[in-house]
Amino acid sequence: MSERERMKVVISLGGIFFSDVEKIKKIAAVFDELAQLNNLCVVTGGGEGAREYIKLARELGANEVFCDYIGIALTRINAKLLISALKNVYPEPFLDYKEAALAKANDSGKIAVMGGVSPGYTTDAVAAILAEYLDADLLVNVTSVDGIYGADPRKYPNARKYDKLSPKELVALTMKEELKAGSRIVIDPVAAKIIERSGIKTIVIDGSNPRNIVDAVHGKHQGTEIL
């Protein structure tokens, strides 16, 4: 790209970034900056709030689909928090892919934000499906670990970090994971299968320093690249 075209970028933002106002403000400022040069969509995770409510519902006897719907509600609350902090943004979270795609058909420069859509997967898969639907140039998964590891690095400090993975390798790694409501996985297996079938370039990065997100969109990162 010479006169750099606006890239279509979809970001999956982990729910962990909704734990305090300063974090949300810093990330929102980075998204407003990125939206000046890129056509941007952000999908928000549910974080601890979702896990807490899912745990309560499960203890009360709710089944997994019901728990998933509770998770979806919390991801949409976080979407509203992010919208509150953004400047150039559609005023409500989109509830499904078609709504978001129709709004994005003409690039108005406004950021589209959405949470979860349907039971059985997480917002990583929502972001992957949206990215495939929009023919996005890049999918960025912003999380609290600095990439994809062979095992959870918080439990296994010697786990191997992958700088690059093929979509096939990603699918093999994620298929080992459990897909219960609220489970803690870096990328869910449904997202991995969508990434595999669409071939969309995907980067998994640590968003603790929100500037990492800008660098990643500009091609510099220290996370894991799936291509």
In the bound complex, what is the minimum distance in angstroms from residue 47's beta carbon to ligand UTP?
4
| Closest chain position to ligand UTP (CB) | 71
In the bound complex, what is the minimum distance in angstroms from residue 116's beta carbon to ligand UTP?
2
Number of H helices, E strands in the chain: 8, 9
In the bound complex, what is the minimum distance in angstroms from residue 166's beta carbon to ligand UTP?
22
Query: Of 98-106, 113-121, 150-158, 203-211, which part binds ligand UTP (CB under 6 A)?
Result: 113-121
**β-sheet bridge partners, residue 138:** 9
Q: Which of 10, 23, 72 is nearest to 46 (CA)?
A: 72
Q: Which is nearer to ligand UTP, 72 or 111 (CB)?
A: 72
Residue 146 within binding range of ligand UTP, rule CB under 6 A: no
In the bound complex, what is the minimum distance in angstroms from residue 106's beta carbon to ligand UTP?
26
Question: Would you give the end-to-end CA distance of the chain in angstroms?
Answer: 19
Q: Which is nearer to ligand UTP, 167 or 182 (CB)?
A: 182
Residue 174 within binding range of ligand UTP, rule CB under 6 A: no
> Which residues contact residue 72 at a Cβ distance below 8 angstroms, ignoring those fewer than 6 apart?
46, 115, 116, 117, 118, 119
Residue 171 within binding range of ligand UTP, rule CB under 6 A: no
Task: Kindly tell me which residue out of 31, 38, 42, 75 binds ligand UTP, with binding defined by CB under 6 A.
Answer: 75
Task: Kindly tell me which residue out of 86, 89, 113, 126 binds ligand UTP, with binding defined by CB under 6 A.
Answer: 126
Residue 45 within binding range of ligand UTP, rule CB under 6 A: yes
Residue 119 within binding range of ligand UTP, rule CB under 6 A: yes
Residue 49 within binding range of ligand UTP, rule CB under 6 A: no
Q: Looking at 16-135, list the stretches that DSSP marks H as alpha helix, in order from N- to C-terminal side.
A: 21-37, 47-59, 64-85, 97-104, 123-133
Task: Kindly tell me which residue out of 11, 27, 46, 171 binds ligand UTP, with binding defined by CB under 6 A.
Answer: 46
* 215, two tokens: 């660098």
Distances (CA, A) of 6 to 101, 164, 210: 16, 25, 21
Q: Which of 136, 88, 84 is nearest to 112 (CA)?
A: 88
Q: How many CB atoms lie within 10 A of CB 199?
A: 11
Residue 118 within binding range of ligand UTP, rule CB under 6 A: yes
Q: How many CB atoms lie within 10 A of CB 38?
A: 24
Q: Using CB under 6 A as the criterion, which residues of the chain lie in contact with ligand UTP when the complex forms?
A: 14-16, 45-47, 50, 67-68, 71-72, 75, 116-119, 121-124, 126, 181-185
